Amino acid sequence: MIKMFLRGIGELNLWQRVFGWKKIRIQGQRCQEQIVLIERVVRDLESENTDVKSVNKQLAFERDQLDKQVEIRNSKIEALEKYISDARKQIAGYENEKENRLKEHDNRIARLDQARISYETKEKSIHDDKLREVEEYHEAMKKKWSVHENEVEEVMRLLCNRHEVFYEDEVPFRGKPDNTVEICDEYVIFDAKCPKTDDLKNFPAYIKSEAEKAIKYTKLEGVRNEVFLVIPTNTVEHLPKLSFDMANYKVFVITKDALEPVIIALKKRENYEYLEQLSPEERENICRVIGKFFHSAKRKVQIDLYFIQDMLDVLSSSQNQLPDTMLDEAHRFEKAEKLNPPMEKRSKEIPLSKLEEDYQKVKRDADLRNVI
């Protein structure tokens, strides 16, 4: 509008300006008012523009702050994403390690099971071997006992035949003793006893117990009140006493070597109708013979045991002191040697004269060799 007003004034001529001044002034006033209005609008716009700039500046600041926060958060997100990625890798590693450990654990359990099975198998084998050894040991002891019983029975039958004593195969009373003979119308019992084990510590108690059990025979009618327990020769020295004087009977512990003198002494009683008919001298002679046999048997066992121990010591020292070459050579000669002692034949008497003749022969040979 102002531009139109200024353009209209410029196009007016002088007369138009003179006669039309009023109109021009009115339009000028209007223009002035419009200018004031425009200035007011401009000021308002400038003020508003200032406010907008301030707001824009504030918004720009806030945008920068937000950008920084976004950047920080993006950095944190990236860090978290990296942490999560590392954590996932670590978890995957842990999972793999866990799986490997589980596999290793399963393998170890399998190996342990195999070892356990192997150990149980080996332990069972050892247990079975020990049981077998115990059974074999018990069988050997039973066999040893049986051999001793058979040997005692064989000697008893031989002596009964030799001295015309009746051997009872079946006794007419309850029980079954190992050997029973009939002398002077009485049954005399010879029971074979043998250690149950190689450990002879309990053997005295066992013999005492068997002596106490012998009452089951002596209380029977017709059974002599003297019972003889026949033991192996090598067990005599382990017994503190060889006789047991019970209330109504006696028990004597003897070896196979003493069987013959005992039977002879018992058999001699048949020459008398009553025992009281024996003279004191005859009784003393019988007791002397039995005592000599007891002493000789025990002394022989004692000497044999002494020489056995001495020879074992010599053998042990030779194993440790002789050079290996000499020891091997000695073992070679040992294998070539063989001892053939005289064999005992059944139902064949060993004459005393023959033994004395052999003794004199050995004595003469020793004298010639200057051994004694």
Q: In terms of DSSP bridges, do strands 250-254 and 223-230 run parallel, antiparallel, or are they unpaired?
A: parallel
pLDDT of residue 346: 53
Q: What pLDDT, in 10s, does the model give residues 93-105?
A: 888 888 888 888 8
DSSP character string of 221-282 = TTEEEEEEEE--GGGGGG-S-SEEE-SS-EEEEE-GGGHHHHHHHHHHGGGSSSGGGS-HHH
Q: What is the mean pLDDT of the chain?
A: 79
Which range has the worst mean pLDDT, 130-144, 179-193, 286-300?
130-144
pLDDT of residue 347: 53
Percent of the chain at pLDDT above 90? 6
pLDDT of residue 228: 94
CA angle, 360 then 365 then 366, to 5°: 95
Mean pLDDT confidence for 117-141: 75
Residue 188 pLDDT grade (very low, low, confident, very high; cuts 50, 70, 90): very high
Residue 321 pLDDT grade (very low, low, confident, very high; cuts 50, 70, 90): confident
**How far apart (Å, rounded) are the C-alpha atoms in residues 203 and 242?**
12
Residue 229 pLDDT grade (very low, low, confident, very high; cuts 50, 70, 90): very high
Q: How many CB atoms are closer than 10 A to CB 10?
A: 7
pLDDT of residue 174: 79
**Do 180 and 171 contact (CB within 8 A), yes or no?**
yes
List the strands of the sheet with 243-245, edge to edge. 166-168, 179-183, 186-192, 223-230, 250-254, 243-245
**How far apart (Å, rounded) are the C-alpha atoms in residues 73 and 67?**
9
Closest by CA position to 246, among listed 290, 273, 214: 214
Which range has the worst mean pLDDT, 21-35, 94-108, 238-252, 304-318?
21-35
Q: What pLDDT, in 10s, does the model give residues 30-80?
A: 767 777 777 787 787 778 778 777 878 888 888 888 888 888 888 888 888
In the chain, where do the E strands start and end?
166-168, 179-183, 186-192, 223-230, 243-245, 250-254
- Main-chain dihedrals φ then ψ at residue 371, nearest 5 degrees: -80, -40
**pLDDT above 60 for 308:** yes
